[in-house]
Amino acid sequence: MLRHYDALGLVRPTGRTVGGYREYADEDIRRIFHVESLRTLGMSLRQIGRVLQDPGFTPSALIGDLIREAEGRLSREQELLGRLRAVDSSDPSGWEDVLSIVELLHGLGSPNAARRQQAVLAPAADAPAQVLAEAILAESDPNVAGALRWALARADHDVVASLAPGLGSENVEVRRRAVLALTEIPGDEAAAVLVDALEDPDTTVRRHAALTLGAGGRSEAVPILVDMVVEGANDVEAAEVLGTLARDPERAGRIRSALVDELAASHGSSAVRMRLVQALAEMPAAVALGVLQRLAHDDDRSVARTAAALAGMLEARTHDGARGIGPSSGA
């Protein structure tokens, strides 16, 4: 090393002994330590030579270059690590399996959306859940994302575990992609993760989770579904899900109370109250009829007329049901 430093002119010995050995003074030793210290920053010996030869050299520009070089190396190493983990998670039985996963990864990494979609839908594509989940969380093209969710829903294991970290991302777009994918995964494991998503700060994430959980009969979704009706965000769909949930007598009272409370709180906002009235019409007659009959005398004439009409429909439906008249009765 010292001979190499000498040849490059980085550190030259002060002199030599009679036997030809290099002699270094204290200043030379300090210079050697300076060289070694700068090497720990990833500097090349050529760069170190420039620094030591020019006492007035400003470090900021060179340090900035070193940071960018280090970030580039880290990015390449992370990409390699991700590729190796993807291959490992596929549990390859031979090198043909390895090559198949690598080909899929190349396809998923294409800048062309059509090429990415083709890679997902290829007959030979049999990617592990981890690979598909990571691709979904990074995919911005809706068509490719749809193909990835389709493929992931058919993966045999580790699907929810691969997607769940996406809900913890600081990037709201990643969380939205994660919740959309989870809504297409059946089963209690996905539902348990979606319950946590009801607390997400992003309304879109909360709403996707609530609609799926409510459709699956989970009462935790009721507050978000009621908020959706109030805010007019997918309010028709939210009202239908609330109506389905209200068929359970244990949930019906809670849902009716939530809607009635919002009606009282929204006094003066005709549009909100109209949405709440229409949501009540999705409820079973035993749940909604009394409320609608009272609203038929509301000060807001639009609300009153709508409530009266809907109450009449529910009454007719109730009477027809009691007399055994239905769509299949021929009446």
User: What pLDDT, in 10s, does the model give residues 91-100?
Assistant: 777 787 788 8
Burial class (CB in 10 A: 0-12, 13-18, 19+), 84: exposed
Cβ atoms 258, 223 nearer than 8 A: yes
Q: Where are the domains of the chain?
A: 1-53, 72-190, 198-323
Q: How far is CA 13 from the centre of its chain?
A: 61
Whether residue 90 is predicted with pLDDT greater than 60 in this model: the reply is yes
Q: What is the pTM of this model?
A: 0.71
3-state secondary structure of 16: strand
Cβ of 111: how many Cβ atoms within 10 Å? 6
15 beta partners? 23
Whether residue 143 is predicted with pLDDT greater than 90 in this model: the reply is yes
Helix axes 129-138, 59-89, angle to 10 degrees: 140
- Tell me which residue has tokens 């609203």: 295
Sequence-distant (≥ 6) Cβ neighbours of residue 44 within 8 angstroms: none
User: In the structure encoding, which two tokens stand for residue 156, read together?
Assistant: 């045999």
Per-residue pLDDT, 206: 96
Whether residue 331 is predicted with pLDDT greater than 70 in this model: the reply is no
Cβ atoms 32, 26 nearer than 8 A: no
- Tell me which residue has tokens 């009409």: 309
Per-residue pLDDT, 3: 78
Task: Give dist(CA 198, CA 208) in Å, integer.
Answer: 9
Q: What is the pLDDT of residues 247-278, one digit of tens each?
A: 998 899 999 999 999 998 987 788 999 999 99
- When computed from its CA atoms, the radius of gyration of the chain, rounded to whole angstroms, is 34
Sequence-distant (≥ 6) Cβ neighbours of residue 176 within 8 angstroms: 202, 204, 205, 208
Does 1-53 carry CATH code 3.40.50.2000? Answer: no
Task: Give dist(CA 250, CA 91) in Å, integer.
Answer: 47
Q: How far is CA 326 from the centre of its chain?
A: 45
Q: What is the pLDDT of residues 146-159, one digit of tens each?
A: 999 888 888 777 88
Contacts by 298-307, CB closer than 8 A, 24 or more apart: 298/273, 300/270, 300/273, 302/270, 302/274, 303/270, 303/273, 303/274, 303/277, 306/274, 306/277, 306/278, 307/277, 307/280
Pick the range with the lowest mean pLDDT from 99-103, 160-164, 316-320.
316-320
Per-residue pLDDT, 296: 92
What b/e readout covers 142-177, taking b as 16+ CB neighbours within 10 angstroms? eebbbbbbebbeebeeebbebbbebbeeeeeebbbb
Measured CA to CA in angstroms, residue 250 lies from 124, 199, 228, 287, 317 at distances of 49, 24, 22, 11, 23
Per-residue pLDDT, 325: 45
Q: Give the residue among 192, 170, 190, 169 at the shortest CA–CA distance from 180.
A: 190
What values do phi and psi take at 183, rounded to 5? -65, -15
3-state secondary structure 53-85: HCCCCCHHHHHHHHHHHHHHHHHHHHHHHHHHH
